[in-house]
Structure 1
Amino acid sequence: MLSSSTMRRSAEAAQLTRERIVATGVTKASTDGLSALTIGTLAEALGMSKAGIVGPFGSRAGLQFAVLTKAADMFIAAVVAPSMEVESGLPRLRVMIDLWCGYLDSSPFPNGCFITAASCELDGRPGELRSFLLATVTRWRAFLREQIVIAQEAGDITTTLDADDLVTALTGIAMAANQEIQLLGDATAPARARRLMLAAITR
């Protein structure tokens, strides 16, 4: 019978392996796309067997979900979580915008914003992965809208500005900045995005 310490070490090793697979999957999916993420390519990249790759996830779809979830969690950890430590209203929105633009500027992904790239890849491909991405983006937009409404209720942002319009404006600026940074190599894009986002919510 295995001791509790042996079982714990085994569980920890399994978790580390899973995290290593997901981290490599995020990098590869960022450059090649989620659809191109396969058990075989990851097995080759990590020097593991296909069974060792698929084991923690049950299937290729499970692996893709794990990769997409990790990418979303990285955005939350970099932008959402720190901003929630700031006073609600305009102060929080200012910090969120700064963190958001900084995240675009120094993206942890080789191909820029992972969610933006995945949205372009999957928006015309119905299926479970698209549905999962849709739910992820919908939650983010709802959160952003909530912060705008809170700022309006506090008198920080005029109520003549429609909250949904502002969500679209801020998201559009972020997507444009991502393209300017990644495709055009424009070093001025992050600062411009900050300026335009702040102008959108304070005009």
Structure 2
Amino acid sequence: MRRSAEAAQLTRDRIVATGVTKASSDGLHALTIGSLAETLGMSKAGVVGPFGSRAGLQSAVLTKAADMFVAAVVAPSMKAEPGLPRLRVLIDLWCGYLDGSPFPNGCFITAASCELDGRPGELRNLLLSTVTRWRTFLREQIVIARTAGDITATLDADDLVTTLTGIAMSADQEIQLLADATAAARARRLMLAAITR
């Protein structure tokens, strides 16, 4: 029984990993059971089974992409000292993640935001929750740094969240669309300037 549960989990993980790659290239709404089944050499029933529906699969794919960002950027940043040291590490990891994106189309969440912002539904709600959690975390780190006196008290935390996010989204476009090899370094420099001015 345990072996079959492990095999089922491995199959689920394989489906989700392939789904993340396909959705990064084609979009979440273009992710279909049929296309995944063909890519994986599985039956449609075998692909949809672990998720219950196409919507369940799409949610699992979006969740996995967000988890990958957390594992690469958020979790390791928490090892740094709170305040400006952590913000510097966070920015470095964030820009490095954009530059060496594990997704064919760059930042998955940025692409999903462009795709889903005008499409009401559960998938958009999940994305909204994901983005809100990230922005809340980023704001908390800014407030901690400001409270510690590491950054200027007059800098508004919400303004900085918007500024840093905007720089990251611009860098993602410059890296992916414009093939600008200097984009990540520029984004890092601009982000650091924004929090230390």
Partner residue, 1:106: 100
* DSSP-derived class of the 2:7 partner: helix
Alignment root-mean-square deviation, CA: 0.4
Cα distance, 1:187 vs structure 2: 0.1
- Counterpart mapping for 1:52-201 below 5 A: 52-201=46-195
1:108 alignment partner, SS class: coil
Q: Is 1:10 aligned to residue 4 of structure 2?
A: yes
Deviations 1:73-107 (A, max 9, x none): 00000000000011000000000000000000000
Residue segments in structure 2 that go unaligned for 5+ positions in a row: none
Name the count of aligned residue pairs.
197
Q: Secondary structure at the match of 1:144?
A: helix
Describe the SS at the equivalent of 2:29: helix
Q: Following TM superposition, by how much is the alpha carbon of 1:8 offset from its aligned partner in structure 2, in angstroms? A: 1.0
Matching residue's letter, 1:17? T
Query: Are 1:32 and 2:26 matched, yes or no?
Result: yes
1:106-139 deviation per Cα after TM superposition (whole angstroms, max 9, x unaligned) = 0000000000000000001111100110010001
Amino acid at match of 1:142: T
Structure 1, unpaired ranges of 5+: 1-6
Q: Which amino acid aligns with 1:54?
A: V
Identity %: 87
When normalised by structure 1's length, the TM-score is 0.97
| DSSP 3-state at the match of 1:36 | coil
**Consecutive aligned runs of 4 or more in structure 1 exceeding 4 Å deviation:** none
Please say if 1:45 is aligned against 2:43. no
Note the C-alpha offset of 1:12: 0.6
Q: Deviations over 1:145-199 (max 9, x none)?
A: 0000000000001110100000000000000000000000000000000000000
